[in-house]
Structure 1
Amino acid sequence: MTGPGWSPDARVVRDGPLTWAQHEWVQWIPTDTDTSYEDNICAAVPGRDLPVGQVVAAVRDVLARHEGLRSLVRRAGREDSLQYVCPVDDRLDDVIQVMEDEASFRRRFDTPWRRTCFRIGEQWPVKAVLDAAGGRVRRIDLVVDHVAIDPWGMRVLCDDLNHALRARAAGREPFGSGLAVEQPIDAALSEASPAGVAYQRRALGYWERRLGEIGKALDGHVPSAPSRASLVRPGRPGRSGVSRPGASPSGASPSGASGLSGASDEGEFRSCWLASRRAGRAAGAIARATGVSPSAAFLLAFGTAVCAVERSSRAGIFAISANRFSAGAGRSVRKATMTMPVLLPALSTGSPGAAYRRALADCASQQLSGHRFANADPYATERMCEEILGDLYKTGVAYPRFSYMDEGVADDLNTLWPAGDDGFPGDEDDRIVTFSPPRPLGARYMMTVLHRPAGAVFSLQWGDATGWGETAEDMLLYIEDLMVWAASECAGDPPALGGAVPAT
Structure 2
Amino acid sequence: MLTGPGWSPDARVVRDGPLTWAQHEWVQWIPTDTDTSYEDNICAAVPGRDLPTGQVVAAVRDVLARHEGLRSLVHRAGREDSRQYVCPVDDRLDEVIRVMEDEASFRRRFDTPWRRTCFRIGERWPVRAVLDTAGGRVRRIDLVVDHVAIDPWGMRVLCDDLNHALRARAAGREPFGSGGPAVEQPIDAALAEASPTGLAYQRRALGYWERRLGEIGKALDGHVPFAPSRALLGRPGESRSGESQPDGSRLGGSQSGEAEQGEFRSCWLASRRAGRAAGAIARATGVSPSAAFLLAFGAAVCAVERSSRAGIFAISANRFSAGAGRSVRKATMTMPMLLPAVSAASADSPGAAYRRALTDCAAQQLSGHRFANADPYATERMCEEVLGDLYKTGVAYPRFSYMDEGVADDLNTLWPAGDDGFPGDEDDRVVTFSPPRPLGARYMMTVLHRPAGAVFSLQWGDATGWGETAEDMLLYIEDLMVWAASECAGSPPVLGGAGPAT
CA distance in 1, matches of 2:483, 2:101: 51
The RMSD of aligned alpha carbons is 1.6
What's the counterpart of residue 113 of structure 1? 114
Superposition TM-score, scaled by structure 2 size:
0.96
- Aligned-residue offset at 1:319: 0.1
CA distance in 1, matches of 2:210, 2:242: 44
Unpaired segments of 5 or more residues in structure 1? Answer: 260-265
- Aligned-residue offset at 1:224: 2.2
Q: Any conservation in 2 of the 1:240–1:431 contact (CA below 8 Å)? A: no
Q: Any conservation in 1 of the 2:483–2:493 contact (CA below 8 Å)? A: yes
Deviations 1:100-126 (A, max 9, x none): 122454311111111000000000000
What SS does structure 1 have at the residue aligned with 2:110?
coil
Deviations 1:154-191 (A, max 9, x none): 00000000000011111111001210000000000000
Query: Where in structure 1 do 4 or more consecutive aligned residues deviate above 6 Å?
Result: none
Residue 200 of structure 1 is aligned with which of 199, 202, 211?
A: 202
What SS does structure 2 have at the residue aligned with 1:383?
helix
Q: Which moved more, 1:172-181 or 1:99-108?
A: 99-108
- Aligned-residue offset at 1:258: 6.2
Q: Any conservation in 2 of the 1:321–1:339 contact (CA below 8 Å)? A: yes
CA distance in 2, matches of 1:88, 1:345: 50
Q: 1:76 to 1:379 in 2, by over 3 A?
A: same
Q: Any conservation in 2 of the 1:279–1:480 contact (CA below 8 Å)? A: yes
Q: Any conservation in 2 of the 1:69–1:126 contact (CA below 8 Å)? A: yes
- Aligned-residue offset at 1:253: 4.0
Q: Any conservation in 2 of the 1:273–1:457 contact (CA below 8 Å)? A: yes
Unpaired segments of 5 or more residues in structure 2? Answer: none
Q: 1:256 to 1:278 in 2, by over 3 A?
A: farther
Q: Any conservation in 2 of the 1:320–1:339 contact (CA below 8 Å)? A: yes
Q: Any conservation in 2 of the 1:233–1:469 contact (CA below 8 Å)? A: no
Deviations 1:262-302 (A, max 9, x none): xxxx7400000000000000000000000000000000000
What's the counterpart of residue 357 of structure 2? 359
CA distance in 2, matches of 1:67, 1:239: 46
- Aligned-residue offset at 1:480: 0.3
Deviations 1:317-359 (A, max 9, x none): 0000000000000000000000000100011324511100000
Is structure 2 residue 351 aligned with structure 1 residue 350? no
CA distance in 2, matches of 1:50, 1:234: 42
Deviations 1:447-470 (A, max 9, x none): 000000000000000000100001
- Aligned-residue offset at 1:244: 3.3
Q: 1:383 to 1:19 in 2, by over 3 A?
A: same
Q: 1:227 to 1:245 in 2, by over 3 A?
A: farther
Q: Any conservation in 1 of the 2:29–2:257 contact (CA below 8 Å)? A: no
Q: 1:344 to 1:104 in 2, by over 3 A?
A: farther
Q: Any conservation in 1 of the 2:21–2:374 contact (CA below 8 Å)? A: yes
What SS does structure 2 have at the residue aligned with 1:139?
strand
- Aligned-residue offset at 1:255: 5.0
Q: 1:253 to 1:247 in 2, by over 3 A?
A: farther
Q: Any conservation in 2 of the 1:244–1:433 contact (CA below 8 Å)? A: no
Q: Any conservation in 1 of the 2:344–2:491 contact (CA below 8 Å)? A: no
What's the counterpart of residue 252 of structure 2? 251
Q: 1:382 to 1:316 in 2, by over 3 A?
A: same
What SS does structure 2 have at the residue aligned with 1:63?
helix
Q: 1:233 to 1:48 in 2, by over 3 A?
A: closer
- Aligned-residue offset at 1:252: 5.9
- Aligned-residue offset at 1:249: 3.9
- Aligned-residue offset at 1:242: 4.7
CA distance in 2, matches of 1:209, 1:348: 27
Superposition TM-score, scaled by structure 1 size:
0.96
Q: Any conservation in 2 of the 1:341–1:370 contact (CA below 8 Å)? A: yes
**How many residue pairs are counted as aligned between the two chains?**
496
Is structure 2 residue 283 aligned with structure 1 residue 288? yes
Identity of aligned residues (%): 92
Is structure 2 residue 320 aligned with structure 1 residue 325? yes
Q: 1:429 to 1:91 in 2, by over 3 A?
A: same
Q: 1:356 to 1:103 in 2, by over 3 A?
A: farther
CA distance in 2, matches of 1:401, 1:202: 23
Deviations 1:60-91 (A, max 9, x none): 00000000000000000000000000000000
CA distance in 1, matches of 2:412, 2:451: 15
- Aligned-residue offset at 1:418: 0.8
Q: 1:439 to 1:421 in 2, by over 3 A?
A: same
Q: Any conservation in 1 of the 2:440–2:459 contact (CA below 8 Å)? A: yes
What SS does structure 2 have at the residue aligned with 1:286?
helix
CA distance in 1, matches of 2:108, 2:257: 29
What's the counterpart of residue 405 of structure 2? 407
